[in-house]
Amino acid sequence: MLAQLAEAIRSHRPESIAACRALAERALAAGVPAARIVDAALIPAMADVGRRFRADEIFVPEVLVSAKAMQGALDVLEPALADAGREPFATIVLGTVQGDVHDIGKNLVAMMLRGAGLRVVDLGVNVAPQRFVAAIDAHRPELVGLSALLTTTMDAMRATLDAIVAAGQRDRVRVLVGGAPVTAAWAMSIGADGHADDAAEAATVALRLLGR
Amino acid sequence: MRDDLRHALAGGAVLLADGGIGTELMRRGFRLGECPELWNRERPADVRAVHDAYAAAGAQLLTTDSFGGHPMRLALHGLDAACEELNRRAAELARGAAGDERWVIGSLGPCGRVLAPLGDADPDAVRAGFERQARALLAGGADLLLLETVTALDELAAAVAALRAAGGSFVGASFAFDLTRRGEIRTMMGVDVATAVRAAVAAGVDLVGANCGRRLGPAELAPVVRQLADESGLPVLVEPNAGTPEPTSGLHPLGPSVFAAHALELVAAGARIVGGCCGTTPEHVAALRAALGGGRDSRDAPRASDR
């Protein structure tokens, strides 16, 4: 059943969205612990989707369908996860930086991070540095994720990091950056803790930064 | 001359379009986080100056500062209610610089959302937004309407229908193709060139094209232009960026002369309207003007039959 669920997520067929909910319900009814369904089906399936997206074997539409399917299963599993005491183990404040209104990539990152078990506070697009600072105070996240699609807004990433430093928050959060123009070298040059090329890698790097 | 774009293209003329608008506004102080379309209201002299610079460089088609003028994009700045005003002003500013000697391209970028059922944007609302934007661009004096950096076919179909409903008599679709890591040419949504052409022709456009695109600059676009021309039977527009920006500096690497040399290859491949996208400047357009053979009037421009 778990293999079926993973395959349904990987298939990125529109009908798999409903199928995943049903499969998750059946797995729960059969007594499979919700956490095991997440760990053995949802996460490996989305990791595989991310790997194929990164290799340009599949594209945004396929990832969106798979992410919706995964989210459907997660919705079914969440009450059971909460009952079992598996609360989100960390929080990430996420947003597209100031000057950039692109959110498709950032939304994919949010879905992957939720699938990986994080609480995601999504600040949206065109987020000013001070809004990140305020959200860090309000939500006490372990991680901050900055997204940019435009080369012209990469400097806003640096400005956001500078604002986090100026607010005295830098030692409380690990900062993850990503987006089409962002390279590992750039991430290092602005003082970020991690960099990801795509949504699946973002989840992997987030877990690594959290020591998992 | 304005009325005969269809005629000019049918007669084999190669027409020169302008270069990047957003990157030129940045040279004039446009700051990150601002709404570029708001400059049509707040900084009209600067927008006009960009158009004038491109006209002086020899561009025969001037593009409106309205790429992000779909109401869903403007809503990110709280400006969706100003859709009509900003787009009309955008077209009026370009029209003022163009006079009767040049054509005005009404620019329409993507709505910025993924349409349902795949995404969460209501297709009817997307279509209605394009229609509002198109009506305003036409009211301000746009001669043709150009959907730029198209990546999704559902949005393309909705947009073309909207532009026709708004009264657009000359409608073009220009795709943003990327070079994938597997060496294929596809849009961000996975659409290959042949599929894109079929969808554009089925939607009933008058022109197809390619602009911007990741890892696909002027040096790499010739095969795309050839395929667009061969498979569509329509005039082809191409507006490359000035190469892929340097990751660390964000600067576009291709200078005017190199850009112009590559652009000539695109003309040889069948492009009938050639201009530039992000990072190209009036200097790039002037270099291209010189490479194409000087004259600023379309009657003097090289014709495809002369190649």
d(CA B213, CA B65): 19
For range A46-70, the mean pLDDT = 87
CB contact under 8 A, A64 and B119: yes
pLDDT of residue B215: 84
Verify whether the Cβ–Cβ distance B114 to A151 is below 8 Å. Answer: no
Look at residue B248 in the predicted model and tell me its pLDDT: 60
Measuring CA to CA, which residue among B17, B59, B102, B11 is closest to residue B306? B11
pLDDT digits (tens, 9 = 90+) for A131-173: 999 999 999 999 999 998 876 677 889 999 999 999 999 999 9
Reading phi first (left if > 0) and then psi (alpha if -120 to 50, else beta), residue B212 is in: left
Binary contact (A189, B23; C-beta < 8 A): no
Written as one letter, the residue type at B95 is R
Q: Taking the domains of chain B in order of start, what are their residue ranges?
A: 3-299
Instruction: Point out which residues pair with B284 in neighbouring strands.
Output: none
Instruction: Give me the tens of pLDDT residue by residue for chain B, a chain 307 residues long.
Output: 456 899 889 888 999 999 999 889 989 999 767 889 999 999 999 999 999 999 999 999 999 999 999 999 999 889 999 999 999 999 999 999 999 999 999 999 999 889 998 888 999 999 999 999 999 999 999 999 999 999 999 999 999 999 999 999 999 999 999 999 899 999 999 999 999 999 999 999 999 999 988 888 899 999 999 999 999 999 999 999 888 766 566 677 899 999 999 999 999 999 999 999 988 999 999 999 999 986 444 444 443 333 3
| Shortest Cα distance, chain A CAs vs residue B219, angstroms | 20
Strands B15-16 and B61-63: unpaired
Beginning with the edge strand found earlier in the chain, give each strand of the sheet holding B171-175 in spatial order.
B15-16, B273-274, B236-239, B207-211, B171-175, B144-150, B103-108, B61-63
The answer to whether B250 contacts A125, with C-beta atoms less than 8 Å apart, is no
Question: Do A34 and A86 form a contact (C-beta atoms < 8 A)?
Answer: yes
Q: Which helix (H) or strand (E) holds B201?
A: helix B193-203
CB contact under 8 A, B190 and A180: no
Give the Cβ contact number of residue B99 at 10 Å.
12
B26 contact A CB<8A: yes
Residue contact A155–B23, C-beta within 8 A: no
Q: Tell me how far CA of residue B178 lies from CA of A42, B149, B186, in angstroms.
A: 30, 11, 5
Contact flag A186-B248 (C-beta cutoff 8 Å): yes
Q: Considering only CB atoms, which chain B residues are within 8 Å of A56?
A: 180-182, 184, 186
Distance of CA B56 to the CA centre of its chain: 19
Report ipTM for this prediction. Answer: 0.82
**Chain B: residue whose CA lies nearest to A181:** B247
How far does Cα B161 stand from its chain's mean position?
18
Average confidence (pLDDT) over A38-43: 88
A153 at the B interface (CB within 8 A)? yes
Å from B7 to nearest chain A CA?
Answer: 38
Question: What is the number of alpha carbons within 13 Å of residue B265 lying toward its C-beta?
Answer: 14
Residue of B nearest to A186 (CA): B248
CA–CA dist B144, B61 (Å, integer): 10
Task: Say what the pLDDT of residue B245 is.
Answer: 67
| Alpha-carbon dihedral angle through residues B191, B108, B105, B209, given to the nearest 10 degrees | 0
Residues of A in contact with B184 (CB under 8 A): 56
**Contact between chains at A60 and B189 (C-beta distance less than 8 A):** yes
Q: Do A98 and B76 touch (CB under 8 A)?
A: no
Helix (H) or strand (E) holding A52: helix A43-54
Which chain A residues have a beta carbon less than 8 Å from that of B245?
151, 181
Task: Record the pTM.
Answer: 0.86
**Cβ pair B26:A104 closer than 8 A:** no
Query: What does the pLDDT average to over A11-27?
Result: 92
A14 and B184: CB-CB below 8 Å?
Answer: no
How large a percentage of chain B has pLDDT more than 70? 92
Confidence at residue B177, expressed as pLDDT on a 0 to 100 scale: 96
Element (H or E) spanning B259, and its range?
helix B256-268
Element (H, E) at B96: helix B83-98
Residue B250: per-residue pLDDT? 63
Q: What is the 3-state composition of chain B as percent helix, strand, coil, each rounded to the nearest 5?
A: 45, 15, 40
H/E element, B179: strand B178-179
Residue A125 in contact with partner chain B when CB distance is under 8 A: yes
Which CATH superfamily includes the segment(s) B3-299?
A: Homocysteine-binding-like domain (3.20.20.330)
Task: Single out the residue of B167, B161, B239, B240 nearest to residue B205, CA to CA.
Answer: B161
For chain A, say whether B188 makes contact (Cβ under 8 Å): yes
Taking CA–CA distances from B23, the nearest residue in chain A reads: A152
Is some CB atom of chain A closer than 8 A to the CB atom of B114? yes
* Interface test with chain B among A100, A104, A127, A188, by most B beta carbons within 10 Å: A104
**Average pLDDT estimate for A105-113:** 85
Give me the pLDDT at residue B305, please.
38
Helix (H) or strand (E) holding A121: strand A119-122
Which residue of B31, B32, B120 to mutate against A (max A Cβ within 10 Å)?
A: B32
Q: Do residue A99 and residue B26 have CB atoms under 8 angstroms apart?
A: no
Whether cis (ω within 30° of 0) applies to the bond prior to B71 is no
Q: Are A122 and A146 in contact (CB under 8 A)?
A: no
Residue B181 forms contact with A (CB below 8 Å): yes
Question: Between chains, do A56 and B180 touch, taking CB under 8 Å as contact?
Answer: yes
Nearest to B76 among A60, A126, A152 (CB): A126
Contact A125 B76 (CB under 8 A): yes
8 A C-beta contact, residue A80 and residue A37: no
Q: Within a 13 Å sphere around the CA of A135, how many CA atoms are in the beta-carbon half?
A: 24
Looking at residue B136, what is its pLDDT? 98
